[in-house]
Structure 1
Amino acid sequence: MSDDISYTTEEIAKLLKISKLTVYDLIKKGELASYRVGKQMRVDPIDLEAYKQRSKGIPMNEQPIKLESLTPTPTQPQATNVGLRPLVITGQDLVLDILAKYMETHMDGIRPLRAYVGSLDSLISMYRGESDIVSTHLLDGDTGEYNLPYIRRILVGNSYIVVNLLSRNAGLYVKQGNPLSLKTWADLATKGLRLSNREKGSGARVLLDEQLRLHGIKPDQLLGYNQVESNHLGVASKVASGEADVGVGIEKAASIVGNIDFIPLIKENYDLVMLKTANNHIWIEPLLHILRSDEFRKELQSIAGYDLSRTGEILLET
């Protein structure tokens, strides 16, 4: 096998038939050696084979530990990686990539890993111990409250801290000029409406399902309800191309895609959740310092569509 071959975390997940979060968990625990190329984590074939052999109980004479480098050296001793703790950050917003960059620059001894997972699945992954910093924007239709009802239900028995990252407008993507005059959630009952939907577990999917429930609209009334996209841009693009009449998402995606109109219907909180454990206390305070810093806020201010008035505010601490 060529020395030039390496695998992404997505490829490792497919090869082992496990989730990407499980791959990150193996990396966090030091069971699967990895290194970074740009923003992407890579795993060499020899390290994948070493993990597989260990899983079968077969020892290998050489199990190299690699430095965080573009040109890893197979003979590096394990001691070179001591103190470098991987932290898995879940969520899909660009702001999380910016946050990861700041963490890597300003926090010693940590290695941010980005997992592009929806809000509900992110909280479940935290309950399972697979993620460290979870982003979430989940509406509870009965209370009108964002995130906290879900966090309380899912993270039962854990101590945690919930911090606001930002707020943003969510609503409907519609064709330019809004030819169907869609203005409210109730208008989703319009006969023959073609929907571009998000995957189960995403904040946009939960928002849609809660609004359908509250307005007595059955999902099967919407054509395309079961046809899903993996992100806001995908949904907005379906509307822009004319393949769908409506989609649910955030304002920023509409401005990026263009050729569509955005109907703002709700302001959602996009929050971060962290477990309060003895091992996490060492990095939670530095992270809060980054969130509250002028430097971080100024960079986010250059991105349209975000309300940063509560960024870094602790919403709940148990």
Structure 2
Amino acid sequence: MASSVQVKLLLDTSYCLLLIRTRLRQVQGAFEHYRPGEIAVSSLTVAMLEVAARSSHNPVRNRRALDQFLLPLVVVEFDDEAARCLGQIGGQVSAGSVQKAHALLLAAQAMRCNATLVTAQPALYAGIDGVTVRVGLEMEAQLAPSPAALPAGRNGHRTIRMSGSHDLSLTLLSDWLHAEHPEWRLAATNVGSLPGLMALVQHEAHLAGSHLLDEETGDFNIGPVRRLLAPQGLRVIILGFVARIQGILVARGNPKQIGGLTDLSRDDVTFVNRQCGAGTRLLLDYHLHKLGIEPTQVRGYTREETTHLAVATAVAQGAADCGLGIQAAARALQLDFIPIIEERFDLVIPVEHFESALLAPLLALLRRRDLAFCERVTALGGYNTQPMGRVVAEL
């Protein structure tokens, strides 16, 4: 190892590129909470950054920027211990692309260092058991294995398994629950609203996050949840969590002068989409249909990301001109935002779990609507906590 100080954060290649290109100011403050030697990069990442700098349009300037970026960081080598960690996780997912193979190597090195992996593309590490990932330095997420395979451990019976849609405030909810009840954990898997509901049917989760638009009523979740779960004989409670603003994320200054969803059909606009089954994807399809725009008319429609932050990262890095997502993701990466709709993000809970001792602490916290927690949520941007803890429907 390059330092006797315990490495706490390992910055992956995607996140390093984001920092170098965007110079996020909030990261400077986040770094101050760590001692010298506690934030590191892999030698593999350094190699990739060297290649990117030397092959750029201005290699001298970018090489100098890379040297400056690396000054406060520790470089850790991919050693024999890291190779053994790779052997442990290598069979869990297919390496597939070069990018995925690189991600596997970095995941192994994070495990070897017992460090949290900081990334701008969390989807690269989905399916790798036990890898702790932080999406940016302000928003932490535990990428758990699939809910059905979550390790029990000594306190496995106090792990609340959540599936469904991605929302930035869920990290705050998880932290809040753990602070109030240290033996409880909220393990969330971001798969999209529809797959999350199916996870309830398959008994793979205790609750699901959902923001499905009912095209018939204009409301959220009640109609779609009833149509999906009632035929399965599953009785559920829909509990309010937050309302949030969805809109178009664009680069600072909106260089393409995008004004609304009609601009997605322009030849000079490149879009980045969410995955099939995500509520945001369904919301987009609904509005495109209303506007008479075919998916084939949208450049980038088939490029998919699995979280709002991943969409925001693609826009921040210039890989896309715009994407649909929540206002909090735009604020986190200092993007401009064009609001489209306020939607309700609810928690769908089977009755058997709603009445269980396992969920009791979480439900009590939500009903209490703690002022400090609500203020932390609204500070993310574009949130309203009025629905929190209120029963929306019993189906």
The two structures share one fold, judged by TM-score above 0.5: yes
1:24 to 112, 124, 147: 147
**Which residue in the other structure is 2:387 paired with?**
310
Q: Which amino acid aligns with 1:153?
A: R
Are 1:166 and 1:308, in contact at CA under 8 Å, matched by a contact in 2? yes
Unaligned runs of 5+ residues in structure 2 are: 1-80, 95-125, 130-143
SS at match of 2:392: strand
Secondary structure in 2 matching 1:140: coil
Contact 2:160–2:358 under 8 Å retained in 1: no
Q: Deviations over 1:256-297 (max 9, x none)?
A: 112x32100100111111100178433444322201322533
* 1: CA distance, partners of 2:197 / 2:349: 10
Q: CA shift at 1:207, angstroms? A: 1.4
Mapping of residues 126-275 of structure 1, within 5 Å: 126-156=200-230, 157-258=233-334, 260-275=335-350
More displaced 10-residue stretch of structure 1: 144-153 or 267-276:
144-153
* RMSD of aligned alpha carbons: 3.2
| 2:5 matched residue in structure 1 | none
Structure 1 range deviating more: 112-121 or 264-273: 112-121
Mapped partners of 1:10, 1:199: distance in 2: 25
Partner residue, 1:291? 366
Q: 1:14 aligns to what?
A: 93
- The secondary structure found in structure 2 opposite 1:223 is coil
Write the letter of the residue equivalent to 1:14.
V
Q: In 2, distance between residues paired with 1:298 and 1:180?
A: 34
SS class of match (1:125)? helix
User: Structure 1: which 5+ runs fail to align?
Assistant: 35-66, 69-80
In the TM superposition, what whole-angstrom CA distance separates every residue of 1:198-217 from its partner, at most 9, and x where no partner exists? 11112221111111122111
- Tell me which of 168, 172, 188 is aligned to 1:98: 172
Could you tell me which amino acid in structure 2 is paired with residue 24 of structure 1? P
User: In 1, distance between residues paired with 2:333 and 2:170?
Assistant: 20
Deviation at 1:315, TM superposition (A): 0.6
- For residues 243 and 161 of structure 1, what CA distance do their matches in structure 2 show? 40
Q: How does 1:45-84 map to 2 (within 5 A)?
A: 67=154, 84=157
Q: Secondary structure at the match of 1:135?
A: strand
Q: Distance in 2 between matches of 1:165 and 1:311?
A: 4
Q: Give 1:103 deviation, angstroms.
A: 3.1
Alpha-carbon spacing, 1:100–1:218, altered in 2? closer, same or farther (3 Å): same
1:173 and 1:262 in contact (8 A); partners too: yes
* SS of equivalent to 2:257: coil
Offset at 1:85? 3.8
- In structure 2, distance between residues paired with 1:204 and 1:102: 26
Matches within 5 A, 1:83-122: 84-90=157-163, 91-107=165-181, 110-122=184-196
Deviation at 1:245, TM superposition (A): 2.2
Give the direction of change, closer, same or farther, for the CA distance of 1:185–1:282 in structure 2 (3 Å limit).
Answer: same
For 1:139 and 1:107, locate their aligned partners in 2 and report how far apart those are by CA, in whole Å. Answer: 34
CA contact (8 A) 2:267 2:299 kept: no
Aligned residue for 2:343, secondary structure, equals strand
What letter corresponds to residue 173 of structure 2 in structure 1? L
Q: 2:248, 2:354 → 1: CA distance? A: 42
SS in 2 for 1:311: coil
Identify which range, 135-144 or 165-174, moves more after superposition.
135-144
Amino-acid identity (%): 32
Distance 2:323 2:364 in 1: 36
Aligned-pair CA distance for 1:33:
5.1
Greater RCO, 1 or 2 (C-alpha within 8 Å, sep 6+): 1
Question: Secondary structure of the equivalent of 1:14?
Answer: coil
* Inter-partner Cα distance in structure 2 for 1:86 and 1:120: 22
Seen in structure 2, the aligned counterparts of structure 1 residues 103 and 247 have a Cα distance that, compared at 3 Å, is same
Letter in 1 for 2:186: P
Shift of 1:160: 0.9
Asked if structure 2 preserves the Cα contact closer than 8 Å seen for 1:291 and 1:297, the reply is no
Write the distance in 2 (CA, Å) between the matches of 1:214 and 1:249.
19
